[in-house]
Amino acid sequence: MPHKKDSDAFGLALMDFLKGKSFDLVVERDDGYVDVDNVLGYFQEYRDWPLHQKTVMKLAKGRVLDVGCGAGRHALHLQSKGLPVLGIDASPAAIRVCRKRGLAKARAVSIERFRAKPGQFDTVLMMGNNLGLLGNPHSARRLLRKLFDITSDEGRIVAETMDPYRSKNPDHRQYHRLNRRRGWMPGLVRIRIRYRCHLSSWFDYLFVSKREMERLIAGTGWHVFRYADSDGPPYAVVLEKVPGRSPARS
């Protein structure tokens, strides 16, 4: 059967899972590498989260924006603690899942198109590897400046990513070399998702080491407040605003 192209493959997988039907999805990288994934993890309850996630999530405060909220596991946890949370996701089906699961405020909009008032939020969540939405050095700076503007003076970004250099997978290491040859950051991945007959468009996701991340945020008005490590490549980070500093505008 032909694939339904440019579709909301990830969100439809979340919706099927919510309805009790679960199929694996395929993540395809632009070098042809494929990985099979299940969306079960996106429904994980707080008690099952890894320690590094729990550690940084305790630092979320005030009015929260969850960027790329998926099925809403982090947003729902903070909402249950009484924090006002808005979940946004580029996937309309993911947002339908969040609403069905009880998230009071959820909007289907990408972070690029999202508009908010200056200082409207105190915490921005980018969990589940969503620091990867920074995309590339150029889009990273643009997005970090936007997040600076829509957060209060005590604003925080609570985020998660993976250190790509901690992978021992030879296919990933070869992909890093390919990226270097084409002038990309080694941890940038261009991927698309296949789910049943659905095929998403290609999109970029950035994985960074701590050193690379510190270079990316330099001059954006953000600095590292806290890291939380795991035993493997995943790690979490809390960014805060450099006191008295506005982001450099280029």
42 binding ligand SAM? (CB under 6 A)? yes
Binding span for ligand SAM by CB under 6 A among 19-27, 109-117, 162-170, 226-234 = 109-117
Site for ligand SAM in 132-171 (CB under 6 A): 133
User: What CA–CA distances, in Å, run from 249 to 29, 89, 198?
Assistant: 33, 27, 40
- DSSP E strand stretches across 100-233: 106-108, 121-126, 151-162, 188-195, 198-199, 203-206, 222-229
Which residues is 223 bridged to in the sheet? Answer: 240
Q: Which is nearer to ligand SAM, 174 or 201 (CB)?
A: 201
Q: Which is nearer to ligand SAM, 34 or 248 (CB)?
A: 34
Residue from 76, 85, 89, 176 in contact with ligand SAM (CB under 6 A): 89
Q: Which is nearer to ligand SAM, 134 or 185 (CB)?
A: 134
128 binding ligand SAM? (CB under 6 A)? yes
73 binding ligand SAM? (CB under 6 A)? yes
Q: How many CB atoms lie within 10 A of CB 141?
A: 20
195 binding ligand SAM? (CB under 6 A)? no
Q: In the numeric block, which tokens belong to residue 161?
A: 């990513």
188 binding ligand SAM? (CB under 6 A)? no
123 binding ligand SAM? (CB under 6 A)? no
| 214 exposure class (CB count in 10 Å sphere: 0-12, 13-18, 19+) | middle
Q: How far is the CB of 86 from ligand SAM (least distance, A)?
A: 12
The two counts, helices (H) then strands (E), for the chain are 7, 12
98 binding ligand SAM? (CB under 6 A)? no
Our CA angle for 80, 59, 48, nearest 5°, is 60
- Which candidate, 190, 182, 227, places its Cα nearest to that of 209? 227
CA–CA separation, 79 vs 82, rounded Å?
5
Residue from 55, 129, 139, 167 in contact with ligand SAM (CB under 6 A): 129
Q: How far is the CB of 93 from ligand SAM (least distance, A)?
A: 9
Which residues lie near ligand SAM (CB under 6 A)? 10, 42, 67-70, 73, 88-91, 94, 110-112, 127-130, 133
